Homo-oligomer: A and B are copies of this chain.
Amino acid sequence: MLNLSSLHSEFNKKMIDTPPFHGLKLPLYEQVRWHIQQRLSTHQMRFDEPIPTEKTLAENYGVSIGTVRKAIEKLTQEGILVKVQGKGTFLKKPDFHASLLRFFRMRNHKGDFVLPVGRVQKVQLIESIDYINDILGEKNNKLLYIERIRMVDDEIVLSEQIWLPEKAFQAIAHLPAEQFGNLLYPFYAEQCHQYVFSASEQLSFTQQHRDPYLSNKTQEWLVKISRTACNLNGQAIEYRESYGYPHNFNYAIKIT
């Protein structure tokens, strides 16, 4: 279990005085929610062990079980926790396998939908770029710059440029490109303890991008996806721009 003991004693003091709470009168369950989330994000991530039971949390926090349930329900809706009946409540293992597939439905030569394979081509330590650092919430920081392609049947279908804050990713700054695996987020997690939990993507079309890996002509339309990926605290830890051809593009959304 994650160590959440001694919460009870800290409860009142911590809840009302910590930064987000000065002067605010948040509902009890919001305070519990925030406190649990803080505890989770400052621990080493464990996806295989349950967090304390609702009953335990209720006792530790000195609130009723219904209040804890409401807090956990919120965290579940946000995609941070998953509840499994009979087993417990777990940190949700985020999987972004499907994320680019939300936009691109690539087919291989047989016509089946496939996930393009990723391959890092270049890794480079570079000086500060203002607009990237703005996005990452940093200032004048060195950056780790990565070029990566994604392929289906040995054909390059997407080209990606990735910027990381050098500070948090020192562990991989000097590794050769070949050691970066197919998927980057598990790689970040293993090597740097940086966990991507959410991302916001922006989609647009451009005729301005000349890509070194896509053999596109001048003035040809490309799809551009800008992604900012964040950790549990909402802190940006990666900025990425992906380019691809429009013919494979397909995206479905439900509006309510």
Contacts and interface: CB of A to CB of B under 8 A. Distances in A.
Interface of A: 78-79, 94, 96, 99, 102, 197-205, 221, 223, 246-247, 249-256
B203 A256 contact: no
B221 A78 contact: no
A223 B223 CA distance: 11
**Residue from the set A78, A202, A246 with the largest chain B CB neighbour count within 10 Å:** A246
Nearest to A227: B255
Given A96-B255, A198-B254, A203-B250, 10 more contacts: A94-B256, A200-B254, A200-B255, A201-B252, A201-B253, A203-B252, A204-B251, A205-B247, A221-B221, A221-B246
Contact of A202 (B99, B205, B221, B251): B251
B201 A79 contact: no
Contacts of A201: 252-255
Contacts of A204: 249-251
Contacts of A255: 96, 99, 102, 198-201
A47 B83 CA distance: 36
Nearest to A96: B255
A223 B247 CA distance: 11
